[in-house]
Chains A and B, each alone.
Chain A
């Protein structure tokens, strides 16, 4: 894992890989610091015990083995959703279908786990594979609709999300739950279908390994295979890629299918993991969309996705604990998330820098400075 992700090729100026990474990391760090300052402000305005609330946000996830387990589990899941969004975003497709693929994958895994196969050792691998295939198919449809018909992928994937949620509600109620029970939760899956635990008494399970494998696989596919090169070319300039003889449509559809498989995998990680171990309606609660933030902050680079997920999962868990222990609602985190996305996507500079430059070089050079500091990738 020592090889860094190659730099974005969107920038015209020649630069070394490390300089680009340093620049991106600095931007992300500044965004996080500004967002945390905003959080402090919000907490101080809204809370009766602001100092305690903020300390809980920053330190609570690391306080117990159990909370560390929650954090690691969250990192694994955030990584996979971040990877799924990174794949499609790199191909310049704003497909938002991870939520739907997650539900479809979870349904497929549940059908395997609750069938007789689920009682054998095959339940675990078959559940994962079924989830990935189902998610892949669910990602393929909007992909082919976009490629063949030009149907807007944002709208189609979002609609498919809502459909998947309702489908899950329906199938759980009618088929998967014991009739007449009135519950909206399936029975616990047999142990042979569950992810094995890695650290006793925590949620740390096979999902963590799957997430790391997924990071490496996506990294390899994007940066060490010809498919990945073509995908990134299509993402930067689809028409140029076409002229270069790349089948942009095939790349687009395959990227959306692969991302769908990752979404399906995430569904399996949810229902077959130690956290749930069964299928409940609406179990996901909008989690999949956190991947949008992860992918944007990580600039769609798989290795960076893991790093961003580590930080963001920590913040999320801190917010949850702050919600329980103090009077600040956990939703404050979405305000933080929005600020981080906006700042990372902006080509901002520290205000002082421009002022100093103007002071030293005079206003005549302002144009040059603007040219040098503007033009962020993408």
Chain B
């Protein structure tokens, strides 16, 4: 009984070189892209439905729900913005009200708050790469009548009213009730049958 010896290995220097290169690349880039766990297209559909639970939306929006997608010069931010924009445009209405979507290049939290008030934005969607600005955005928008939504789950604890995460492969809604109150967002209690409150 036995087994033959076969060696078909090509020189492994190439492989080891590839390893070394990739390892060096990896270790030299200990940056942190923020995880968007729920695909933006699904976030768009969820956002449109959840916004319908905001009892102040019709008054705030008037005859048009304006959604501002806040972006910055960053690959993740721009890609998620594009995917969310595509998803929202496909819906055409939110809570039965015609929907309009615009991108807004982020300058500062204060500028964002001013733009929201001036443009009567109903929804502000914060794309990835705003981890360091989330609290400032929350502070600036305090008292502003707007529903803020974070692309990244942790944004809801840092600065938005709403975000989405995955739990066991299914999306879940995260709501910051205190911040909702500060931004005149009044959710129908039925939403809390399916949403998770993060500040309680």
- A and B part of one assembly: no
| Residues of A participating in the B interface, judged by any CB pair closer than 8 Å | none
| Residues of B participating in the A interface, judged by any CB pair closer than 8 Å | none
